[in-house]
């Protein structure tokens, strides 16, 4: 049974989402403020987190940051009325795997949750090579030959996994978006997340093939 932690202070919306998640076959625990959400996430195991941002007690991104620092790795979807580009970037950089703006379509939300749950499935080969480094698909960390480890966000991990599992293939921006960001049609997301990987792992980790796209580089 898939377990969802929903942290939402709007009572009517919370009840609507519990019904929708239940109809989809999910068991949902509801917390109405950030402190209650923190307690539940640290004391129970969940398959996915759905978090509002403007929460009482602990703001949603602060809550997510505390959970990530405490070792909670369940994928997180931010569900909020804060919908500017800056808000979305802050949410994804803050550790969320997806970001949905209110008002939203419930069927789209459920589809996005299914994507997150598929990504959470344990891969057959949990470690792949990135040059001389090792990429742990479960822990989402890249360990260099000197032992230094770098943690990646969910989307960064998905992009690096795509490139690392096909090291000789060049992926167009459109292919990357279709595979890593299936809920979006913005080709610029590929460029954005290549930039994020290079910022964390070094410029050589992804090679730009002019006029064609990107392929795995080296570390």
Query: Domain extents for the chain?
Result: 2-120, 127-216
| pTM score | 0.61
- Alpha-carbon gap, residue 193 to 199, rounded angstroms: 10
Which contiguous run of DSSP H or E holds residue 101?
Answer: strand 98-101
- The full length of the chain comes to 219
Q: List alpha helices for 58-150, DSSP H.
A: 60-69, 85-93, 106-120
Q: For the segment 44-92, what is each residue's pLDDT rounded down to a tens digit?
A: 999 999 999 999 999 999 999 999 888 888 999 999 999 888 888 888 8
- Name the DSSP letter for residue 75: -
The pLDDT assigned to 122 comes to: 54
The pLDDT assigned to 129 comes to: 86
Concatenated DSSP letters for 126-191? -EEEETTEEEETTTTEEE-TTS-EEE--HHHHHHHHHHHTSTT--B-HHHHHHHH-TT---THHHH
Kindly provide the b/e burial profile for residues 75-92, where b requires at least 16 CB atoms within 10 angstroms of the residue's own CB: bbbbbbebeeeebbebbb
Q: Is the pLDDT of residue 123 over 60?
A: no
Q: For the segment 20-39, what is each residue's pLDDT rounded down to a tens digit?
A: 999 999 999 999 999 999 99
- Alpha-carbon gap, residue 14 to 37, rounded angstroms: 13
As a CATH number, domain 2-120 is 3.40.50.2300
Binned at pLDDT 50, 70 and 90, residue 163 comes out as: very high
SS3 37: helix
As a CATH number, domain 127-216 is 1.10.10.10
Binned at pLDDT 50, 70 and 90, residue 183 comes out as: low
The pLDDT assigned to 94 comes to: 85
- Alpha-carbon gap, residue 164 to 129, rounded angstroms: 7
- Alpha-carbon gap, residue 90 to 153, rounded angstroms: 12
Kindly provide the b/e burial profile for residues 107-145, where b requires at least 16 CB atoms within 10 angstroms of the residue's own CB: eebeebbebbeebbeeeeeeebebbebbbbbeebebbbe
And the tokens for 14? 């919370």
Average pLDDT in the 127-137 region?
87
């Amino acid at each position: 049974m898939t377990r969802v932690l929903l942290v939402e202070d709007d009572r009517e919306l919370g009840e609507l989402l519990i019904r929708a998640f239940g109809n989809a076959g999910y068991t949902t625990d509801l917390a109405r403020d950030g402190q209650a959400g923190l307690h539940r996430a640290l004391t129970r195991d969940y398959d996915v987190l759905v978090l509002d941002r403007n929460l009482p007690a602990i703001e949603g991104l602060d809550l997510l940051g505390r959970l990530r620092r405490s070792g909670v790795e369940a994928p997180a979807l931010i569900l909020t009325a804060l919908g500017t580009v800056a808000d979305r970037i802050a949410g994804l950089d803050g550790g969320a795997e997806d970001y949905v703006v209110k008002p939203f379509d419930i069927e789209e939300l459920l589809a996005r949750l299914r994507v997150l749950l598929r990504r959470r499935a344990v891969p057959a080969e949990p470690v792949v090579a990135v040059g001389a480094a090792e990429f742990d698909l479960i822990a989402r960390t890249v360990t260099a030959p000197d032992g230094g480890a770098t943690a990646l966000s969910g989307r960064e991990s998905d992009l690096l996994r795509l490139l690392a599992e096909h090291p000789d293939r060049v992926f167009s921006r459109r292919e990357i978006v279709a595979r890593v960001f299936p809920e979006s049609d913005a080709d610029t997301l590929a460029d954005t997340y290549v930039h994020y990987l290079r910022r964390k792992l070094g410029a050589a980790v992804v090679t730009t093939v002019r006029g064609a796209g990107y392929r795995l580089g080296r570390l």
